[in-house]
A and B are shown apart, each in its own frame.
Chain A
Amino acid sequence: MISIVEKRLKKGKLKKPELLAPAGNLDKLKIAVLYGADAVFIGGQEFGLRSSADNFTIEEMAEAVKFAKPFQVKIYVTTNIYAHNENMSGLVQYLQAIEKAGVTGIIVADPYIIETCKQVAPKLEIHLSTQQSLSNYMAVQFWKQEGIDRVVLARETSAQEIQEIKAHVDIEIETFIHGAMCIAYSGRCMLSNHMTARDSNRGGCCQSCRWDYDLVQRKGEEWIPMYDGSNEAFAMSPKDLNLLASIPKIIDIGVDSLKIEGRMKSLHYVGTVVSVYRKVIDAYCENPETFVLEQKWVEELDKCANRDTAPAFFEGVPGYQEQMYGVHEKRTTYEFAGLVLDYDKETQVATIQQRNHFKPGDTIEFFGPEIESFMQTIGEIFDAETGESLDAARHPLQIVKIHVKAPVYSNNMMRKKK
């Protein structure tokens, strides 16, 4: 790996990769853009997985493009279902509308959508989804020949494999760096279909892999338990992916786009994850030789974690320690308390939109792209309209004013320890 860094440095081309963020709606998209994403992927109302996410109408896509353009941020739309015959109509109009909305590209798995897109919406880039489980360079070569602009590799590929793929095929490579994982090869899991008649490859996955099972052996007519009572049940639930510490290696390999999972995730998650990876990518590219991963970035990222995290296949073969046994509650240490709408320099008063209950005396933390995170204790809370002093901000989306000890900017966030 080191030799690659030296080579790139000599040539002066340690290419800064694209940081690709998820957004489930326009608010989240704005946060992703403002907090440092180079590109954002969104779902439309058809042909995409995650059918229970908010998802964008065509008009909202156009609005997303319009918002992102001045920041030179690209928008991609996920159209990554494996279509059944009954899902095949309406695609032409849909792709043409996406193209017209100014979207840069689509993320696709099904050849039907790929081929149709080439014909009817040629301006759209085509990115092959991780649903194709691309794991070797010959498969990547095949899709390059098919005119695919970018491939998202299988989450099962290691750093070395990605490097080999990069060396063999001249094509843009996108890999996941953060977020929830499938325990199976993506697209190769029908647990949801069999257990609940919800089609995972059309966006209905019920996440059966997060449930508990008893492992038993059939011997003759008997079922022999393969566990003793003191142990947790058999589970497949994978820890979430976190490649913060591997960012230098990923950049050295020359991966073109670093993808964060989570179209269903909160504003707080999008803001936190994007801003941390932004800082790490920038710091490393600025000066790779002196770069050190600062502990505060690691801690910051952990503040929005839903589960324990692991580097999964990127850093080798994941063992049992990268799965969770007997863990069902989501692990959240911080909650999103409020969004800064405005700040008055003269009075040092911030206008805040409430996102979770907070009250005078609570310790909160402000963070955002323009500021160094800081903690403070909440003093008096005033209703923004009436000026009335409140004993707490208890209503969702309620607008209040509080005094802050350092400048904040609109769209900064306020989080609170749970």
Chain B
Amino acid sequence: MNPELLVNPFHIQHMEQLCKKGADAFLVGTAGIGIHLPAFFSIEEIQKACEIKEKYHKKLYIAINGIYHNDQLETLENYLHLLKEFSIDGVTFGDPAILMLHQKINASFPLHWSPETTATNWFSCNYWGRKGAIRAVLAPELSLDAIMEIKKRAKVEIQVQVHGMLNMFHSKRLLLDHYYQYQGKTEMFLSQYQDRMYLLDRERGANYPIYQDELGTYMLSPKDLCMIDDLDMLFDAKIDAFFLNFMFQSEAYATEITGLYREAIDLLAEDYDAYAQKRNEFLNQVKKIQPRERELDQGFFYKETVY
């Protein structure tokens, strides 16, 4: 079976466009509950999204992927109750409280374990599998070798990000507001990522996207991951889902990139050699629409980290 092509839609109509462009699955979330999302869907919009995904025979997952405090538990329980009535295909979570609530309300939708930085070995994936998750979303800081070994030994589905910025930071503190206040500015700065704020690191000549929501401050990688010309090994390893991250990108970009990955995956499934011949062309097509200030790279797939 081909890997599932998973993306974040920006709104309902965009989701329909992405269906037509060949996305297999969608990850959406609600403000104040889901994090690391380019846009938020209200509960009514999630209901609409369910209709669309059924119409196009796609999958819909809900991001409940924050780190939660006591006063959010009631909201989360109510939210899960509402989701129970919908035909969603899964919930991504990192906080074990979601696992507990899932049991408590007797929900039947599947769980995807998605803790961002801490899904780093096959044992953890299987551990959360035993606790009820059917999929593990791997940390983006892993090497290709590590991913392949995890896939070999995992008893759960494995999801890997293959495109876009990598999430690299979550603080509970409102760091952008704080900087404004420190400067004596009076306006509060509750920024969404659309404000396109960056931290410049002059020493490394790098810039890091930064944004804030009510659950804290987030930062993203200095370069955009792009594996469109190098999907063979992940495909051969039978990675279950390829995720494209559209944070800090435009809607049009998201639509185009989704289409390109659809084409690449289909070609790979059909004819290896044809994909091999076309890989540079795929990459060039991405480069054409890639914002000038955002370089592409291969993330940690071939990069060693030391410690």
Which residues from chain A sit less than 8 Å from chain B, CB to CB? 51, 82-88, 109-112, 115, 131, 133, 135-139, 141-143, 154, 156-157, 161, 164-165, 183-185, 187-191, 193-195, 197-199, 201-204, 211, 213-219, 223, 226-228, 231-232, 234-236, 238, 313, 318-320, 323, 325
Residue in chain B with minimal CB distance to A202? B307
Q: Is the CB of B118 within 8 A of A82?
A: yes
Q: Separation in Å of the A157 CB from the closest CB of chain B?
A: 7
Contacts A213-B199, A215-B176, A226-B197 given; does A136 touch B70 at CB 8 Å: yes
Interface digits, B168-208 against A, CB 8 Å rule (1 contact, 0 not)?
Answer: 11111101111101110000000000011111111110111
Q: Is the CB of A213 within 8 A of B200?
A: yes
Q: Is the CB of B172 within 8 A of A193?
A: no
Contacting residues, chain A, for B170 (C-beta < 8 A): 184-185, 188-189
Q: Is the CB of A189 within 8 A of B176?
A: no
Query: What 4 A-B pairs are tightest by C-beta distance, nearest first?
Result: A204-B307, A320-B178, A138-B97, A142-B96
Q: Is the CB of A204 within 8 A of B305?
A: yes
Q: Separation in Å of the B51 CB from the closest CB of chain A?
A: 32
One of B17-25, B121-129, B279-287 at the interface: B121-129
One of B84-92, B142-150, B229-237 at the interface: B142-150
Contacts A138-B96, A142-B99, A199-B307 given; does A227 touch B183 at CB 8 Å: yes
B301 within 8 A of A: no
Which residues from chain B sit less than 8 Å from chain A, CB to CB? 67-70, 72-73, 95-97, 99-101, 116-118, 120-124, 127-128, 139, 141-142, 146, 149-150, 166-173, 175-179, 181-183, 195-204, 206-208, 210, 216, 219, 221-222, 293, 300, 303-307
Taken together as a complex, chains A and B put the C-alpha atoms of A336 and B112 apart, in Å, by 52
Q: Separation in Å of the B144 CB from the closest CB of chain A?
A: 12
Contacting residues, chain B, for A320 (C-beta < 8 A): 177-179, 181-182
Taken together as a complex, chains A and B put the C-alpha atoms of A306 and B285 apart, in Å, by 52
In the complex, given contacts A111-B124, A213-B199, A227-B179, what are 17 additional A-B residue pairs having Cβ atoms less than 8 angstroms apart?
A51-B307, A82-B121, A83-B121, A85-B121, A133-B67, A135-B67, A135-B68, A136-B97, A190-B166, A195-B206, A211-B203, A215-B200, A215-B210, A218-B293, A226-B179, A234-B179, A325-B182
Contacting residues, chain A, for B128 (C-beta < 8 A): 111
Contacts A183-B173, A190-B169, A194-B222 given; does A112 touch B121 at CB 8 Å: yes
Q: Is the CB of A110 within 8 A of B121?
A: yes
Contacts A185-B67, A325-B182 given; does A191 touch B219 at CB 8 Å: yes
Q: Is the CB of B67 within 8 A of A82?
A: no
Contacting residues, chain A, for B207 (C-beta < 8 A): 216
Q: Separation in Å of the A310 CB from the closest CB of chain B?
A: 12
Q: Is the CB of A85 within 8 A of B149?
A: yes
Contacting residues, chain B, for A214 (C-beta < 8 A): 199-200, 202
Contacts A111-B127, A231-B183 given; does A198 touch B305 at CB 8 Å: yes
Residue in chain B with minimal CB distance to A236? B175
Q: Is the CB of B221 within 8 A of A204?
A: no
Interface centre among B68, B117, B200, B307 (most CB of A within 10 A): B307
Interface centre among B70, B177, B199, B222 (most CB of A within 10 A): B70
Residue in chain A with minimal CB distance to B198? A216
The listed residue (A85, A187, A197, A217) touching B122 by CB distance below 8 A is: A85
Q: Is the CB of B197 within 8 A of A319?
A: no
Contacting residues, chain B, for A133 (C-beta < 8 A): 67
Contacting residues, chain B, for A195 (C-beta < 8 A): 201, 204, 206, 222
Q: Is the CB of A217 within 8 A of B197?
A: yes
Q: Is the CB of A139 within 8 A of B171?
A: no
Taken together as a complex, chains A and B put the C-alpha atoms of A324 and B123 apart, in Å, by 40
Residue contacts A-B, CB under 8 angstroms, 18 given: A82-B120, A137-B73, A156-B172, A188-B67, A190-B166, A190-B168, A195-B222, A198-B306, A201-B120, A204-B305, A211-B201, A215-B200, A216-B197, A216-B207, A218-B197, A313-B172, A325-B179, A325-B182
